[in-house]
Structure 1
């Protein structure tokens, strides 16, 4: 089911005013990718991009067409590791949310 514009605007407004929410969105998207939940991770990053810098700004920072980036994070998207890591790097720099990876022993 596609998200409605009202919902996207609500998420964007919340991300703008609530840094904890913004951090949680980014952290959850990348954590999903690391857990192997690729579809959820891509969807989470797409929502985070839309709620923060937008695809036009991301496009300018990466030198890639915005539609190409939108497809990468769409339902059938398949970004390369280079593209994915480049996007994460730009998102960290532009949004001020820095992710940290730590190893944790399995339970």
Structure 2
């Protein structure tokens, strides 16, 4: 999904505020905050704050959010997930 890639690109380019807002839009358009909260075992209200304009999610929370969204989109067939190189990482297309 384009929003997933856009959020990741924004984050990697140091545009954290834009990345959070794109992630928020993606969650609203696909997974939903309640389902995401259940997936990563965080209150949905906390997720709303993390992904707000002034949010400040930790790297652990961002990784959990990206991972949960990636898994849900891959399950829905909206995102292809390739196994990475020998390092064990994954990449998305």
Matches within 5 A, 1:1-107: 23-96=1-74, 97=79, 98=81, 100=91
Could you give the per-residue CA deviations for residues 7-57 of structure 1, whole angstroms, max 9, x where no partner exists?
Answer: xxxxxxxxxxxxxxxx11110111001000111101000000100010000
- What is the TM-score of this pair, normalised by structure 1? 0.70
CA distance in 2, matches of 1:65, 1:41: 20
CA distance in 1, matches of 2:3, 2:62: 16
Structure 1 runs (4+) greater than 4 angstroms displaced? none
Tell me by how many angstroms 1:100 deviates. Answer: 2.1
Unmatched segments (≥5 aa) in structure 1:
1-22, 102-107
Q: How many residues align?
A: 79
Asked which structure has the greater CA Rg, the reply is 1
Structure showing the higher helix proportion among its residues: 1
Please provide the CA RMSD for this pair: 1.4
Unmatched segments (≥5 aa) in structure 2:
82-89
